[in-house]
Amino acid sequence: MIQIANLQKKYGQDTVLDIDSLSIPQGQCFGLVGNNGAGKTTLFRLILDLIRPSNGTVIINGKNVQETDEWKSYTGSYLDEQFLLGFLTPDEYFKFLTSIYSLSEEDLKTHLKSFKELFNDEIVGKNKYIRDLSKGNIKKVGIATAMLAKPDIILLDEPFENLDPSSQIRLKKLIKDEIQTRNVTFLISSHDLNHVTEICERIVILEKGKVVKDISGDEMTLSAVEEYFKA
């Protein structure tokens, strides 16, 4: 359970995020949409305690993220390339993370097997530094690492960006499989309304840092979201 209360982020006199209350239950696939500058990435960074709020709190499973590191053990995330070690190859980076997470080689093999179609034989065993991969393949590495330790909560910022159509479809399948097999909470920020409304059971629209719509997912969700942005 993620609970947000009176959360604000200001830079000088400018308020870039202002959310009175937001609750995301365990096991929900939560989609966050909004135009550029709406505050989506700021919200994710506040949830992950990468930046400090000007006011308010983020509580994960009853713990304030600013006061304890306990939530980090069951939270995975990928926001951008800064989350990766670009001077390593994907193989080196995955192996490094298995030691951090106390995983076995068999655990890693099983995890990478589930990403085989998404990787499309372009990432593992290629002896190529992460920094030299294409934007899409860097994103695939980031998503794979976010899900490596089987976390209960996973945050992905623009996961479909830079992926080709086949990879987008494969990623959607991966996320759906993870939701079906484990009680995972997904928080997905995306500009791609079609994909995010297809996989998320709830869509929140941010506008200038504020929640302006909170929509439960059904067959009419995409139409409702598109209608908002047409206005």
* 135 neighbors 81 (Cβ within 8 angstroms): no
Rounded to whole angstroms, the Cα distance separating 59 from 104 reads: 31
Cβ neighbours of residue 68 under 8 Å, at least 6 residues apart? none
pLDDT at residue 170 tops 80: yes
Say what the pLDDT of residue 230 is: 82
- Residue 231 binned pLDDT confidence (cut-offs 50, 70, 90): low
Is the pLDDT reported for residue 173 higher than 70?
Answer: yes
Check residues 128 and 222 and name the one with the higher pLDDT: 128
Asked: is 2-230 a CATH 3.40.430.10 domain? The reply is no
Q: Kindly tell me if the per-residue pLDDT of 112 is higher than 70.
A: yes
Kindly indicate the confidence band of residue 113, based on its pLDDT and cuts at 50, 70 and 90. Answer: very high
Structural tokens at position 151 = 């976390």
Q: Give residue-wise pLDDT tens across range 15-73.
A: 999 999 999 999 999 999 999 999 999 999 999 999 999 999 999 999 999 999 999 99
Instruction: Answer whether 190's CB lies under 8 Å from 31's CB.
Output: yes
Mean pLDDT for the chain? Answer: 93
The number of C-alpha atoms within 13 Å of 145 and in the hemisphere containing its C-beta is 30
Consecutive H or E run containing 146: helix 135-146
Q: Which two tokens stand for residue 164?
A: 């080709």
Total residue count of the chain as it appears in this document = 231
Token pair 């079609």 is found at 194
Reported as a single tens digit per residue, the pLDDT across 123-158 is 999 999 999 999 999 999 999 999 999 999 999 999
The pLDDT of residue 228 is: 85
Q: What is the dihedral of CA 140, 143, 147, 152, to 10 degrees?
A: -160
HSE of 71 in the Cβ direction (CA atoms, 13 Å)?
21
pTM value is 0.93
Q: Where are the domains of the chain?
A: 2-230
Q: How confident is the model at residue 172 (pLDDT cuts 50, 70, 90)?
A: very high
- pLDDT surpassing 80 at residue 220: no
The strand pair at 63-64 and 210-216 is best described as unpaired
Q: Which H or E run includes 117?
A: helix 116-119
pLDDT in tens, 3-21: 999 999 999 989 999 999 9
